[in-house]
Structures are given as C-alpha cells and as structure tokens.
Structure 1
C-alpha cells in the first residue's frame, strides 16, 4: 500500500448539515444506552490509538510508509484530539507539526517528514487534504477548548489553501475544484483530482467559521462531480477533470482503493448517506460479502472485481458503516477497535466510530 505515491512521484446544489459540537471525553453526549456504549468505546479506542501511533513528542507515526509522518496523519490526530477533548494531546501534536511541517513560506504544511533522511522534509509541496483537516481540527479545537485564537489560525491557513488549491475548472461547467496540492497536478488536458480529498462537512464548517465561501462552493461542486462519477462506477482514487469530462490519468492508478474508500465515510460523516457514491460502494461490498470474499480494499471501478483484501478491522468497520447506512437498517457490523493494525486502518476505524455517533445513530455497532 502506498497511498501517498502520487505526491512523491509528481514531486511534488447540496445543502450540508451543520457540524455538531466535539464529543466529550466521557459518554455524557449520549442520549440513549446504545449511543452511550458507542461513545465509551470511542473513548477507550482513543487511549489505544494514542498508545500505538502517537509518539511522545507529538509525531503521528505511519510505520507502513517508511515510518513517516504526513500532514494527513498529523491533521487526523489533531482532529481526533479535538473531538475527544484531549487538550494535552492536541497541543503535543500541534507543536510537533508546526516545528517540523509548518516550514513553508505560507501557512500550509509540507506534506511529509521522513525519519531516516536529511533533510527530514525533502519536498516542501503541500497535501490539500492534510491542510483541510488541520484547519478543521483547529476550528473544532477552538470550540472544545475555548481558545478563539485557534480559529484565527484556521482562517489564515484556509485563506492560503483556497488561494493555492481551490481552482476554477475549464469547460462549460466552470466548477470550483479542490486540487491535491499547490504543485504537480495540473495537466494540459485538465486538473487531476482525488475525490477523497473532499470532506464536505469540513469544507462547509471552514467556510462558515472563516467566511471563505470558496470552500462551501467547492464542496457543492465536489458532490456534483462525485454524482457524475457514480454513474460510471465506484469512486476512483484519482481522476482527471478536463473540459470534455473525466478520464484516468496515465501516471496514476484507475481503481477504487485505499484513497477512494474514504469517500463514502466522509459523505456519511457529512450527513450525505444517500449520495450515490455511498450506495455504489455498499453494492460492491455486498457483492463481495455474498461471495464470501474478505473485506475488499482495492476494487475495479466498473466491474467491482476485488483486487486486494485485508483482515484489518478498521477496513471492516468502515465497510460495516457504509453497508448499514445504505441499507437503512439498524445496527452496523463494525468490529471492536484494535491497536494491532497499522496506523491508516486504525485511524479510519476511529473516524467510522465518530461518524456513526455524530451522523448515523441508528448504525450503532453490533
């Protein structure tokens, strides 16, 4: 698995629901016994997550990616800390990130830190999803810890992110697209996009908190893009958007894989569980389950053929949530959190638990 291969190789009208307040560390946010149990399980999982993936200095470590830390992993950790109201962990992660990745001339973050090379940051390019989630985490942290200065930092970061990565597409549609980085993804034929870099809830909340309306517009256009892609099949990890439509990029894999699996999760978390991208993913997962195939992690976009599977419970939890939301039934087949899985599925597991509590209360894990 190399979810960040593309950045390294290249050197480089929907109304969204409002954000709920961050979850308390205890289960006091729950109104029913099942919700209380889910919140308690999340609190326990957070302790395990910190013990396994968060170093003492605040670095979130992705061992499968050369022991690297990314703006994505740091932003994901910061968001978890804000959501679980863990101010000590929040400040630890934030401090390390600013010292080691906040080294660009703007307010954005360098995308990767490597422990065994010098300099540790060989490429100053950013990753727009890492910046997006970091700004969102700062906004959540401002509310959770009553620190308005964090919102000011989020606004400064969001301004630079909009200036660098929210672009107007060519063609008759003239849509705002959220490109993966400031550099490296423009083609003569159009812009390469990664649908999983769109997080509608984060984009809408940033727009509301900062007044930068481009994020809300890009979120709406992104949902339209995903609806069109869903006509073709499953969400792609990468796709090029040009004046004449969508087409695969010859330098990037055309598949539904480790990136694209986040799309239905982020849609569900945003209250958009009825989006066709969620239904498509659930259909493919259902076909695999009927054939007794283990949890798919890479699939053919058009045929749903399973190309890679995984036993990591985080991927199963994500699939269980997607299937539950698409079915409209109560109860999701989400396994308990385990810390003996790699950073990425463990973090998606945490996100699936939060999305269930915040946006899909009927899909309580069973």
Structure 2
C-alpha cells in the first residue's frame, strides 16, 4: 500500500548541526543562476505537466491532481522566477484544494469523480512544500501576502501534524489524522524536507518545526544503520519496525529521502551513503526504483532520467568526485520522475556544485 492508497482508504544529534540556512546573498545569487540555467527545462516541465488554469496533472494517477504536485510546481515557479505561472498555480490550488476549515489542503482532486475532492484529509508534505513555496515567492516577488499565507500553513502544520515523543525530537506525521497506532505512529521518512522545515521554522519562530526536522534526520540515520531507508516505518518508544500493510522496502517514495538530505546540505548522511551504495550495483543506464530494505538488492529498475538523476547525485555525493552522471532532462517524462529530476538539478546547484552534470 502506498501513501495515496492509504489516504484514499482513510477518507474521513549532532548530525543535523551540519544543516544551516542559506545566507540571503547566497539565496539571491542562487535564484539568479537557477533562472538562467534551468528556465528552458522548467518551461518543458510546465508545458508537459500543467494546464492553462494552473493545475498540475499526474497522468499516471488517473489524471488527478494532488497537493504534492501543486506545491512542487509552486516551489519550482518561485525558484525559477516565473511569477505568472506561480500565480496560476496558487489560484488553482486555493480554489480547489485549500478548502478545509484550516490552512492545510485536501490531498487529492479527481477530475472525473462525482465529488472531485472526496477526502478532506491532508498530506503534510504537500502542505510543507506549499508553505516553503509561498515563503520563497514572498521573497522573490516582494509579495508579503504570500508570507502571510505561508505562516498560516506552518501554524496549522505544527498544530495538527507534529507528534511529540518522550525523550526524542518530534516527528512530522503524514497527515492530520489516520497515522497513529496503539503502539506508536506510522511514519513516512520522505515527508520531511529538513531544509524547508528549518527555513520555515526560523522565519516564523516555530522551534518545534526545527525540532521535527532534527527528528527526521536522526530517524533516517537510525534506519540507515540496518539498510536503505524504507518507504514506511512504524515508530514506537521501543523500536523502529515494519508498518503493517505498507512497504518496508525503499521504493518510489523513499528515493526522495537522499534527495532531500543532499539538498539540505547533508550529502554525507548515512542514508545517502546507503542509497548510493545500493544504486552503484545497478547496471549503467538504469536506476533502482525499489530496493530491498536489508540487502539493498534492486527489486525493480527504470531508465527514467529523473530516477537516474537522484541515483547519480547520491553517487556523486558519496564519492565526492568532480562531476556527476545526471542525465539530460526528458520533456516526455511523466510528472513524478520529471519533477524529481528538476529537484535534483536544483539540489546539485545549491548544495553540491562540484557534482555538475557531465
């Protein structure tokens, strides 16, 4: 079972010290260079995955739209400096997904369903990335109203989606409801983006969100002691173990963990090293899209450039070599791998400049 299936069924450390916020001057320089270097790739992504109204379409998921896709698109538009596209994405999102009583979004919109939003539960990664996108847009476009919107989301994320743990840092739950068990919580490591959480925490004086970022980094370290970080895990006071009914392998969701850690300045994190070692065993021209939790054996592979981009970035981070094998962007790639490739290119530019694609 994956995150989307579960949400539909619900229907109702010292290591983190290496992470620091970008200086304002660095962020401005980075934005300028990103716009110059990635605008053509961004235009190709936009034309392939977004309609004129600002809806990001996931064609492999019944042409649905979801909070994750809208938030990802908004972040990309803000970082590239495409204000017109950002405004369309934001308007569609507010009209169709930001319909809860709080500032969070419903997680999915179905174009052909009698009720297009059958479930008002949220997905915290979508909300996190939307808040980050709005904050970046507020700075990039000198639009304080976006900062106000970002703050409201952060406050509701902290109120509804943070679980506190005795003797440990808190964690970001996948949604406001449905992920607590009798023994503990169901946790998806890829929902936490440390850089986004730390940046938002600093901007809006929310230390609990910064603590949840530390908790995510530390939990990923603990999981990496025994293998690649899995898609899902049950977290109890006593142990980390398989979540019943969920993937305990490292699949399409978990591949975002090394990407986000690298982007957050943690390229030497054990989870990145585990992932890179496992990917190094895959034949050239492919990337593992599902890895065995214990052995790191590739259970499925893909030639999609987006998945290969993450594998190449992690391999470069682990080897500390000059240059990487991040492949050229493919405009025909589906929404998810195409988005991951754009993120990998941004992470490389911001966090690993020596891993420039060769």
Moved more, 93-102 or 142-151: 142-151
TM-score, normalised to structure 1, is: 0.93
Secondary structure of the residue aligned to 2:234 is strand
Name structure 2 gaps, 5 residues minimum. none
Check conservation: 1:22, 1:84, Cα contact below 8 A.
no
Secondary structure of the residue aligned to 1:329 is coil
Tell me if 1:148 matches 2:154: no
Compute the displacement of 1:40 (Å).
Answer: 4.4
Write out per-residue CA displacement over residues 309-332 of structure 1, whole angstroms, 9 at most, x where no aligned residue. 111111111111111011100101
Distance 1:138 1:196 in 2: 20
Residue in 2 aligned with 1:113? 109
Residue in 1 aligned with 2:297? 305
Check conservation: 2:11, 2:118, Cα contact below 8 A.
no
Residue in 1 aligned with 2:10? 10
Check conservation: 2:128, 2:197, Cα contact below 8 A.
yes
TM-score, normalised to structure 2, is: 0.95
Compute the displacement of 1:308 (Å).
Answer: 1.1
Secondary structure of the residue aligned to 1:232 is coil
Residue in 1 aligned with 2:321? 329
Distance 1:189 1:43 in 2: 48
Cα gap change, 1:225 to 1:153, in 2 (>3 Å): same
Of the three residues 121, 136, 159, the one matched with 2:155 is 159
Cα gap change, 1:255 to 1:10, in 2 (>3 Å): farther
State the Cα RMSD in Å.
1.6
Compute the displacement of 1:212 (Å).
Answer: 1.3
Compute the displacement of 1:41 (Å).
Answer: 4.5
Write out per-residue CA displacement over residues 208-256 of structure 1, whole angstroms, 9 at most, x where no aligned residue. 1111111111001111111110101101101010011111111211110
Residue in 2 aligned with 1:125? 121
Compute the displacement of 1:43 (Å).
Answer: 1.5
Tell me if 1:93 matches 2:96: no
Cα gap change, 1:71 to 1:42, in 2 (>3 Å): same
Residue in 1 aligned with 2:38? 42
Cα gap change, 1:3 to 1:342, in 2 (>3 Å): farther
Of the three residues 52, 61, 71, the one matched with 2:67 is 71
Secondary structure of the residue aligned to 1:168 is strand
Distance 1:341 1:271 in 2: 27
Cα gap change, 1:144 to 1:293, in 2 (>3 Å): closer
Distance 1:183 1:299 in 2: 29
Check conservation: 1:151, 1:209, Cα contact below 8 A.
no
Secondary structure of the residue aligned to 2:282 is helix
For residues 236-315 of structure 1, the aligned pairs below 5 Å read: 236-289=230-283, 294-315=286-307
Tell me if 1:221 matches 2:224: no
- Counting matched residue pairs gives 352
Residue in 1 aligned with 2:349? 357
Secondary structure of the residue aligned to 2:280 is helix
